[in-house]
Amino acid sequence: MGSFRQAVLCAGCATLLCVAVAAVGHAQSEEIDEIKGKIFDAHMAQQTFSGLKYCGELNGKSFYFQVRNRILNLEEYFHSLESFVKTGVYNKAKGRNWTLEDAKERWEEVKQQAQEDKRKCELVASLPKLEKRLQELQAAAPAEKKE
């Protein structure tokens, strides 16, 4: 009876070990997929975001204004929007003079754009680290899991 118990215990341990190894492999595979996705996004940003040369200034307090190929400070832009409303400047996009609601809407858009520009710059800057981490994970992955 003792050897049967020992055999069952051994088989149970072996099963647990296999499950643990599979879980680690699965987690590693998920991390590899996640890093590949970030690398893809970084390469896309390199190809499509023409504001990359201004990344030193894109810190969330400014945004890239593609039409003029320049950086605009959010605070200064906000004051311009206020001025548009006060002076009744024509809003070509709306087909009427700027209103307070138009200014608020545009303010929210450029704040989001500033954060997105910052995110793109950070992603591109992290590309060498992401590629290095991917190589490390792929080298450590079991041979049959390598892609």
Using only C-alpha atoms, the chain has a radius of gyration, in whole angstroms, of: 27
Q: Are 64 and 71 in contact (CB under 8 A)?
A: yes
Q: What is the pLDDT of residue 140?
A: 85
pLDDT tens digits, one per residue of 91-129: 999 999 999 999 999 999 999 999 999 999 999 999 999
Q: Domain residue spans in the chain?
A: 2-141
* pLDDT tens for the chain, residues 1 to 147: 555 455 444 444 444 444 434 444 556 789 999 999 999 999 999 999 999 999 999 999 999 999 999 999 999 999 999 999 999 999 999 999 999 999 999 999 999 999 999 999 999 999 999 999 999 988 887 654 544
